[in-house]
Amino acid sequence: MGLPHTPMNPANPNTPGTPYGTLPSASPLPQRKPISLPRLNEMRDRDEKITMLTAYDATFAAVADSAGVECLLIGDSLGMVCQGLASTVGVTLETMCYHVESVTRGLRRVQGTAWVIGDLPFGSYHESKEQAIRSASALMHAGAHMVKLEGGGWTTETVQFLVDRGIPVCAHLGLTPQTVHALGGYRVQGRSEAEAHRMKTEALALQHAGASMVVLEMVPAALSSELTAQLTHCHTIGIGSGNGTAGQVLVMHDMLGIGLGKTPKFVRNFMEGQPSVKSAMAAYVAAVKNSSFPDNALHAW
């Protein structure tokens, strides 16, 4: 039996909608240039903050893109927010590829311009550099422009190996959720002088190895500002690390106020007072760009 009624697409009244959700229309193409590494470098040069949100499916990716979010991270946090796992440790490469494909399909449908980063999950790059390139290639085949991997020190060689083979890499220092069991919980990292010194050494080595971005998670604001000043070729993207970084990222569910657990101190609910998800995301972009989010007094250590 056919569908009784085909609704119109509210975003574009000239095209029929579907009963299963309608992606927003793209802005006229001439106004939108795809985000690339050179464009991110230009933003940094003119002191414009880089905005990033996590995305896991086609529709939210399209909405975030149309709200002006420049970078979409298909984070392995999807294990917690989509799959209901207790940590990111159980996420597989196959699952990551599925979500990267979903996000990139959504962006393609709306002629989206976001820079797409795929997270390498736990166990997919730890064995060898060869394993890392196989896993990174799978994410790139799924549509990622860049891969992210957690940790410093031993990962430096892997980063160099991937970058030498043409894969842009985002590193991740501070709280690295894949090692939550070794770290003993979700805690601020880099508080002692020894930890801070180690993070600075690791960050500089990752930049030297060719990482063009680094997520700094739950790093004291003063340390992340210092790292940002030192990492002139590697853009620091903070989460719970103060407002001195080159850009910011949040988990989408957190910033929409629909997280299932306790809301971390570094999150602001951008949905409050907003009529739609798109306007909440646009409010996040505006707040990051004008440096009103994060507020170091409220959202940082």
Residues at the site binding ligand KIV, with contacts judged by CB under 6 A: 54, 73, 75-77, 119, 215, 217, 239, 249, 251
Query: Closer CB to ligand KIV, residue 132 or residue 170?
Result: 170
Smallest gap from residue 113 Cβ to ligand KIV (A): 21
Smallest gap from residue 238 Cβ to ligand KIV (A): 9
Buried b (16+ CB within 10 A) or exposed e, 1-38: eeeeeeeebeeeeeeebeeeebbbbbeeeeeeeebeee
217 as an active site residue: the answer is yes
Smallest gap from residue 209 Cβ to ligand KIV (A): 19
Query: Closer CB to ligand KIV, residue 140 or residue 215?
Result: 215
Query: Closer CB to ligand KIV, residue 237 or residue 282?
Result: 237
Smallest gap from residue 78 Cβ to ligand KIV (A): 7
Query: Closer CB to ligand KIV, residue 26 or residue 246?
Result: 246
Residue whose CB is nearest to ligand KIV in the complex, by number: 75
Whose tokens are 């039996």? That residue is: 1
Write the burial class of residue 45 (CB in 10 Å: 0-12 exposed, 13-18 middle, 19+ buried).
exposed
Query: Closer CB to ligand KIV, residue 59 or residue 245?
Result: 245
Query: Closer CB to ligand KIV, residue 54 or residue 156?
Result: 54
Catalytic residue among 101, 195, 217, 272: 217
Whose tokens are 């507020």? That residue is: 295
If one counts every other C-beta atom within 10 angstroms of the C-beta of residue 46, the result is 6
Q: How far apart are CA 71 and CA 98, in angstroms?
A: 18
Smallest gap from residue 223 Cβ to ligand KIV (A): 17
Smallest gap from residue 80 Cβ to ligand KIV (A): 9
Query: Annotated catalytic sites, by residue?
Result: 217
